[in-house]
Amino acid sequence: MVLRFGETLPDEAKAAVERQLSVTASRTVEGAWAWLPDTAEGSRVHYRPRSYWPAHTRVHVRGALRGLDLGGGTYVTDDLDRTFTVGRSQVVKADTRSHAIVVVRDGAEVARYDASYGLESDPRRVTRSGVHVVMAKSEKVLMSNPDYGYVDEPQFWAVRISNNGEFIHANPASSWAQGNRNVSHGCINLSTRDAKEFFASAVFGDPVEVTGSSQPLTAADGDLYDWSIPWDEWRSLSALS
C-alpha cells in the first residue's frame, strides 16, 4: 500500500500522519509503515508485511486524516478508508544463471519457461537481483534505448517489473539465446507463446524474485523496491521509530 502527498512533509507531520493510520486483516500479519526517500511527487509512505501477504487475505486500511495539519498552512482534506482482498499466491523464481523462470502458484510449480536475461558483462544491461513486483501489463509496448540503437521498438505481451525498463516480454529476436545465454538489455525475454501464457497469469503485485546477477535492485530502479529492504531496516524507516 502506498500513500502519497503532494509536497515534502516535515518529520513531525510524517509522525502525525502515521499515528492516524491503521491496518487490519482477516489473518494475523506482522506489518509496518515506512517513509521511503522523497521523490519529485512529494513524500510517500508504504506499508508491507514482514513476509508476503497470505493468499486471499482481506485487508482494511484506515486513516483519520481529515483536518490534519501537515505544516506550511497545508491540511489533509479527506479521511482514508480502503478495503481490498489479496489474490492467489503467485511468485516468479527468476535465477539469471538458470536461463529460465519458474512460476510457483499456491506453493506448487505451474510453469517453467526458457528465458534470456540481461547481458552480464555490461552493468547497464544486467537484470537487477532483488524482489521486483508486477507493476503493469500491456499487450504492446514501444521500447527505446537510444544508447543501444533502438527507439520505439514494439515488444509484445509485456509485464513491467520495475521502473528502470525491466519487463518480462516476448522477444523472438533472442529466441536462439532463450534457455542458454543472457543477451537482453535488462528485460527477461521469453518466446511469444510463453510470454502470452505468462502475461495471462500475472497480477499486479506478484513478486518476481530475481537472483544470480551482479547488480542489485535499489531505489535508483524505481518506486517499488519494498521487498528488497531487510525487515529491520524497513521498520527503522517508520516516522515513529
Q: What residues are annotated to the active site? A: 169, 187
Q: Which among 73, 174, 70, 66 is positioned nearest to 125, based on CA atoms?
A: 174
Question: Environment class of residue 163 by beta-carbon count within 10 Å: exposed (0-12), middle (13-18) or buried (19+)?
Answer: middle
**Residue pointed to by grid coordinates 500513500:** 3
Q: Which residues of 43-54 are buried (b: 16+ CB within 10 A; e: fewer)?
A: bbbbbbbeebbe
Distance CA 166, CA 145 (A): 12
Q: Which among 129, 131, 132 is positioned nearest to 96, based on CA atoms?
A: 129
- What cell numbers appear for 210 in the block? 530475481
Residues 6+ apart with CB under 8 A from 232: none
- What cell numbers appear for 237 in the block? 524507516
